[in-house]
């Protein structure tokens, strides 16, 4: 475990155990209320970024795009504070519940995007999907998940726990950015080839280098996802006595991994490394979404009872 369980007494001068406990509980509730509001604020900032990126898309002006990126920096920095606050609150790595991992996912996707975007000059289109997903992830957590700081249940008390979640969700974040570049490339390529829509910062000179980032990101994410699956299996082997159980969550992560393996392979095949590869990259992204929120959705859609409902 990265963090020791919380044992320190809080509220100096309080003698009776009961009032001591009450002090702790009201302090915890107070921190939680700040944390929740900060989380909402971060979601709002991502929302504003999304609107600004969309204005950039509609007006073709660089100003809103640049502003959106600056706002995204604000979101990411505040969000880093939020993650640290949650760490302090729970006295452990904040990756236990979906409420927490969605926050980590949104933050790492935005940060990865900002890191990649720094290499370009006035290209902002991929920001649309990244801001939309970051906002969506935060809102989903805030509106549907419990924000309570839970103690670690016995199955989670494993040295695999933090690394498994951190790296798997980091890979998802990287795939989001990869896919947003891929979609931008696919939609703008025909126009750029004709010398149109150059206002978005892409031209025949930089289009292919821009697109290459998408491959590099998927390449970066692939070993992380491989580690995510491997560590998940090693952990399941320790906790449940079986490294693989074909549970829908496990299986969807394997699907995502396999689709990205097909994508990476097709990139080294002359006939497949153009449109087919792009499609595989986008499919990989869709599978990734299925892995962490869409599990069982397909079964429900077809009216098939899934007896393996995974606690999320």
Partner 1 sequence: MAIIKNIKNINLQKVRENKLYKRFASLKTSCVFLGILVGFYILGTIFPQGASLDDYIKSGGRFTSFVIFFDLLNLFTTPGFLITAFLLFINLTICAIERFLMLRSQRKTVSDGSQFSESFSFPLDINPQLESAEESVKEIFKKELKFNEKACPHTKDFGVGACADSGITIMEKGWSYRWLTWIYHSAILLCFFGFFLTYLFSYEDEITLYPGEAAAIKPAAVSRWNKSWGSKPQELGFKLMLDEFITEYNQFPKLDYPADKLSRLAVAMGWKDPKYILKNESYFPKDWKSRLKVINLSPKSVIGEGKQTVLEKTIEVNDPLSYQGITFYQAAYKQNLKVQVDDNPILFETEVGKELIIPGIDGMLKFGAIRTGMLFKKDGSTEKIKPFTEATLIKEDSSGKREVEKLGKLEQDGGLYVADKRISLREFKEASILSYRYDPGVPVLWWSGVIVLLAMAIRIFGAWYRIIYRIEEKNGRPHLLFKVKTRGLMADEERLIKMVQLSFLNMTEPIDLDTPV
Q: Say how far apart CA 8 and CA 270 lie, in whole Å.
A: 62
- The residues in 253-272 that bind partner 1, with binding defined as CB under 8 A, are 254-255, 258-259, 261-262, 265-266, 268-269, 272
**C-alpha pair distances (Å), 193 with each of 186, 189, 208:** 11, 6, 11
> Contact region for ligand HEM (CB under 6 A) — 122-130, 149-157, 258-266, 293-301?
258-266
Q: Say how far apart CA 10 and CA 186 lie, in whole Å.
A: 56
Closest CB 219 distance from ligand HEM, rounded Å? 7
Closest CB 173 distance from ligand HEM, rounded Å? 19
Please give the torsion angle defined by the CA atoms of residues 293, 44, 197 and 186, in that order, rounded to the nearest 10 degrees. -10
Is position 209 an interface residue for partner 1 (rule: CB under 8 A)? no
Query: Quick one: 193 exposed, middle or buried, by C-beta within 10 A (0-12, 13-18, 19+)?
Result: exposed
Is position 54 an interface residue for partner 1 (rule: CB under 8 A)? no
Phi, then psi, of 233 in degrees rounded to 5: -70, -40
Give whichever of 74 and 264 is closer to ligand HEM, judged by the CB atom.
264
Is position 57 an interface residue for ligand HEM (rule: CB under 6 A)? no
Q: Say how far apart CA 220 and CA 213 lie, in whole Å.
A: 10
Is position 8 an interface residue for partner 1 (rule: CB under 8 A)? yes
H-only helix segments in 118-247: 127-144, 160-193, 207-239
Q: Which residues make Cβ contacts (< 8 Å) with residue 153, sequence separation at least 6?
A: none
Is position 299 an interface residue for partner 1 (rule: CB under 8 A)? yes
Give whichever of 212 and 265 is closer to ligand HEM, judged by the CB atom.
265
- What track of x and - describes contact with ligand HEM for positions 263 through 282 (by CB under 6 A)? -xx--x--------------
Is position 261 an interface residue for ligand HEM (rule: CB under 6 A)? yes
Q: Say how far apart CA 19 and CA 5 lie, in whole Å.
A: 21
Is position 239 an interface residue for partner 1 (rule: CB under 8 A)? yes
Question: H-helix or E-strand containing 45?
Answer: helix 17-59
- The residues in 140-169 that bind partner 1, with binding defined as CB under 8 A, are 142-144, 146-148, 150-151, 153-155, 157-158
Provide the 8-state DSSP code for 18: H
Binding test (CB under 6 A) with ligand HEM, winner from 200, 222, 235, 263: 222
Give whichever of 109 and 267 is closer to ligand HEM, judged by the CB atom.
267
User: Binding residues for ligand HEM, per CB under 6 A?
Assistant: 222, 261, 264-265, 268
């Amino acid at each position: 475990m990265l963090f020791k369980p919380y044992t320190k007494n809080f509220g100096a001068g309080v003698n009776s155990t009961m009032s001591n406990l009450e002090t702790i509980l009201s302090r915890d509730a107070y921190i939680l209320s700040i944390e929740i509001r900060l989380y909402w604020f971060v979601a709002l900032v991502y929302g504003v970024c999304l609107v600004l990126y969309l204005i950039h898309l509609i007006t073709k002006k660089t100003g809103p795009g640049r502003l959106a990126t600056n706002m995204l920096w604000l979101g990411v920095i505040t969000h880093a504070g939020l993650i640290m606050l949650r760490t302090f609150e729970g006295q452990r790595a904040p990756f236990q519940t979906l409420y927490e991992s969605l926050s980590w996912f949104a933050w790492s996707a935005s940060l990865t995007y900002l890191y990649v975007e720094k290499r370009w000059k006035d290209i902002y289109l991929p920001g649309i999907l990244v801001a939309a997903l970051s906002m969506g992830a935060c809102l989903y957590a805030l509106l549907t998940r419990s924000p309570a700081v839970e103690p670690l249940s016995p199955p989670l008390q494993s040295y695999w726990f933090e690394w498994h979640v951190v790296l798997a969700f980091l890979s998802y974040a990287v795939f989001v950015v990869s896919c947003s570049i891929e979609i931008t490339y696919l939609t703008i390529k025909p126009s750029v080839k004709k010398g149109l829509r150059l206002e978005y910062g892409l031209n025949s000179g930089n289009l292919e280098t821009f697109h290459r980032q998408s491959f590099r990101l998927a390449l970066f994410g692939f070993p992380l996802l491989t580690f995510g699956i491997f560590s998940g299996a090693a952990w399941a082997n320790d906790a449940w006595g079986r490294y693989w159980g074909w549970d829908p969550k496990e299986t969807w992560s394997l699907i995502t991994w396999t689709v990205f393996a097909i994508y990476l392979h097709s990139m080294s095949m002359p006939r497949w490394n153009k449109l087919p590869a792009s499609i595989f990259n986008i499919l990989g992204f869709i599978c990734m979404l299925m892995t962490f929120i869409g599990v069982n959705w397909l079964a429900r859609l077809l009216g098939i009872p899934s007896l393996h409902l995974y606690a999320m």
